[in-house]
Structure formats: structure tokens, C-alpha cells
């Protein structure tokens, strides 16, 4: 007996039900989470950078009892200019703890200005020919020299301060401007050569060729054509070396001992003595110390931004 051939049942997969289109949220009702996160992080970053300086600035207008009160006063309850006037009347402040530091502050500001300006100027005088050579000439060992410059910058300052002190003492330069200038050049010169080398490479060679066609010598070409084009990079490098020399503390503490060469970071630290600490006077000295670099940055702000932006792209 044979079974009849029964056709298999027509089994078809069920058709998927068409999903209902999700209703798009109107653009005006969407929460801009990305902007919220970015602005929140930016606000925290600004507070992190600005609040310490604001705290010092506000404290410089307080009396000592208001500065050490708990909870702290973010706004001076009894504003006073006595802390700043103390620097103008040092003889009346001898009785105060830190009176010696008050007397030395004007001299320290002048010393810091001389040392930082000389460091920035010598830094450019030495770094420009070196950076030009690395950017325009190809010679054996050039790459190794650049790496060597970079390695010297990676050595911690504390590791070389004793040999530096002995060398400066053997030359009879302790407690002089030259002791600090020579020390600071070792920090800033390698970085300046690296920055200017990348910046000089971006200056077209055609400018120099055109100047030579007009019978300009090398010095005239550099002074009248090349350096004006590279002015943003030069200003950025000079400001960097000026700020490095202005704020350096450890070498200045070792190399100087009198008001003839003490710089403002060393004198500001002297407001803290074994007997007491004048927080308000220290804050006023800190604000006074910030003013010259701040003015310098504001004057050359446009060139500094151009130089840093160009260096970051071309480097």
C-alpha cells in the first residue's frame, strides 16, 4: 500500500510588523549634553586656575586677623592698603615680622627685572644663530646635537645645582647677576633652540634669495628680512625665557645671599619666619611680583599667540 504524496504545508515566516516610526524630538527641546559637559569642564578649569590668584589678591587687601579667620573670607571684610603701603614705608615696618623682607622687596623687583631681561636677551642672541643653522644647514651630527639639547633639559635642576654652585663660586660670581643669568640660560636655551628651529624652517627660502639678489649680505638679510618675518616666534621664545627666569626660586636661593642680587621669589619666601608668618604681606608681595610679567604678556599678547600657534602646527 503506497501513501499518496501530500504536498507540504505552505509555511511562510510571519511578516514583521512595521514598526511605528519614532517621533523625532524637536530640535528646540533636545538637551545639549555635549555643550553642558564642555562648559562645565571649562568652568571648573577656569576656577582651578583663577581661584588661587584671586585668593592671594583678596588676601593682600585684608588685615592679618581677617586673613586667618575660619571660615575664610573670600571678600575683604575691612579692605585696607596697609600691606602695599608697607613697601613704600619700609622704615615704619621694621618692627613687623618680615620687616627685612619688606625692605628688600623693591630691590628684589629690580634684580628680577634685570636678571630676567638679560636672560631673555642673551637667550635670543645665542639661540637665533644656532636655530638658523639647524633649520637651514645639513651637517653630520646635527640630529644628535638637537637630541643632546633636549636631554639636558630633562635633567632635574636639583641634580646639577651643587656642581653649578661650585663652578660659580670658583669664578667668583656668587651673589651677582651673572650667577643667575648663566644658570637660567642652561634651562631656557635648549628649549628656545628647538622652538626657533621649527619656526625658522617655515620661513620661505625665497625671501633670503630675493634679498641676496638685491645685494644684501647675510647680516642685512637676517636683520631686515628674516627676523621680522620670524618676530612672533622670537617674542614667544623671549617671553618664555623671561618667565622662566622671573619665577625661578631654587637657584636664586643658592646663588644669592644679599639684596644686591636676591630676586623676588627668594624675598617673598622670607616673609615666613620661625617666629611667625605674615600672610597678608606675603600675598601683597606675590601680587606685586605678578604685575610685570602680566603687563609684558598683555603688551605682546598677539605676537605670543601667533608664535605659539605657529610652533604647535609646524613642530
pLDDT range class, residue 315, cuts 50, 70, 90: very low
For residue 57, which phi and psi values (nearest 5 degrees)? -60, -45
In angstroms, rounded to a whole number, what is the distance separating the alpha carbons of residues 157 and 153? 9
Mean pLDDT computed over 302-306: 75
| Upstream peptide bond of 107 is cis (omega within 30 degrees of 0) | no
In angstroms, rounded to a whole number, what is the distance separating the alpha carbons of residues 197 and 187? 17
Q: Phi-psi bin for 218: left (phi > 0), alpha (psi -120 to 50), beta?
A: alpha
Q: What percent of the chain has pLDDT over 90?
A: 13
Mean residue pLDDT across the chain:
82
- Is a pLDDT exceeding 60 seen at residue 3? no
Mean pLDDT computed over 270-295: 80
pLDDT range class, residue 286, cuts 50, 70, 90: confident
pLDDT range class, residue 115, cuts 50, 70, 90: very high
Cell of 144: 644628535
Q: What is the pLDDT of residues 124-173, one digit of tens each?
A: 999 999 999 888 888 888 888 888 888 887 888 888 888 888 999 999 88
**CB of 128 within 8 A of CB of 227?**
yes
Q: What is the pLDDT of residues 27-54, one digit of tens each?
A: 666 777 888 999 999 999 988 988 888 8
Buried b (16+ CB within 10 A) or exposed e, 154-171: eeeeeeebeebbeebeee
Cell of 4: 499518496
- Is a pLDDT exceeding 60 seen at residue 1? no
In angstroms, rounded to a whole number, what is the distance separating the alpha carbons of residues 312 and 304? 12
Query: Which residue did the predictor score with more confidence, 256 or 2?
Result: 256
- Is a pLDDT exceeding 70 seen at residue 310? no
Q: What is the pLDDT of residues 72-87, one digit of tens each?
A: 888 888 888 888 888 7
pLDDT of residue 224: 84
Query: Which residue did the predictor score with more confidence, 190 or 27?
Result: 190
For residue 306, which phi and psi values (nearest 5 degrees)? -60, -45
Amino acid at each position: 500500500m503506497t501513501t499518496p504524496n501530500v504536498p507540504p504545508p505552505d509555511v511562510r515566516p510571519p511578516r514583521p510588523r512595521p514598526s511605528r516610526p519614532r517621533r523625532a524630538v524637536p530640535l528646540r527641546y533636545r538637551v545639549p549634553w555635549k555643550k553642558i559637559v564642555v562648559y562645565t569642564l571649562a568652568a571648573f578649569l577656569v576656577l582651578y586656575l583663577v581661584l588661587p590668584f584671586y585668593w592671594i589678591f583678596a588676601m593682600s587687601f585684608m588685615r592679618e586677623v581677617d586673613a586667618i579667620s575660619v571660615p575664610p573670607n573670600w571678600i575683604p571684610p575691612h579692605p585696607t592698603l596697609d600691606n602695599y603701603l608697607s613697601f613704600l614705608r619700609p622704615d615704619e615696618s621694621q618692627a613687623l615680622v618680615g620687616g627685612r623682607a619688606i625692605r628688600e622687596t623693591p630691590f628684589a623687583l629690580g634684580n628680577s627685572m634685570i636678571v630676567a631681561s638679560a636672560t631673555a636677551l642673551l637667550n635670543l642672541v645665542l639661540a637665533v644663530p644656532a636655530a638658523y643653522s639647524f633649520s637651514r644647514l645639513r651637517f653630520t651630527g646635527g640630529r644628535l646635537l638637537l637630541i643632546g639639547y633636549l636631554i639636558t633639559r630633562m635633567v632635574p635642576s636639583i641634580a646639577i645645582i651643587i656642581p653649578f654652585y661650585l663652578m660659580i663660586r670658583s669664578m667668583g660670581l656668587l651673589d651677582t647677576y651673572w650667577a643667575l643669568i648663566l644658570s637660567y640660560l642652561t634651562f631656557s636655551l635648549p628649549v628656545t633652540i628647538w622652538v626657533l628651529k621649527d619656526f625658522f624652517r617655515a620661513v620661505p627660502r625665497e625671501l633670503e634669495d630675493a634679498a641676496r639678489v638685491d645685494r644684501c649680505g647675510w647680516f642685512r638679510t637676517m636683520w631686515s628680512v628674516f627676523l621680522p618675518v620670524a618676530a612672533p616666534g622670537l617674542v614667544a621664545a623671549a617671553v618664555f625665557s623671561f618667565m622662566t627666569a622671573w619665577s625661578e626660586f631654587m637657584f636664586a636661593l643658592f646663588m644669592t645671599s644679599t639684596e644686591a642680587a636676591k630676586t623676588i621669589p627668594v624675598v617673598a619666601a622670607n616673609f615666613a619666619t620661625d617666629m611667625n608668618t605674615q600672610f597678608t604681606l606675603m600675598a601683597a608681595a606675590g601680587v606685586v611680583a605678578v604685575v610685570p610679567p602680566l603687563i609684558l604678556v598683555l603688551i605682546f599678547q598677539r605676537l605670543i599667540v601667533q608664535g605659539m600657534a605657529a610652533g604647535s602646527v609646524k613642530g
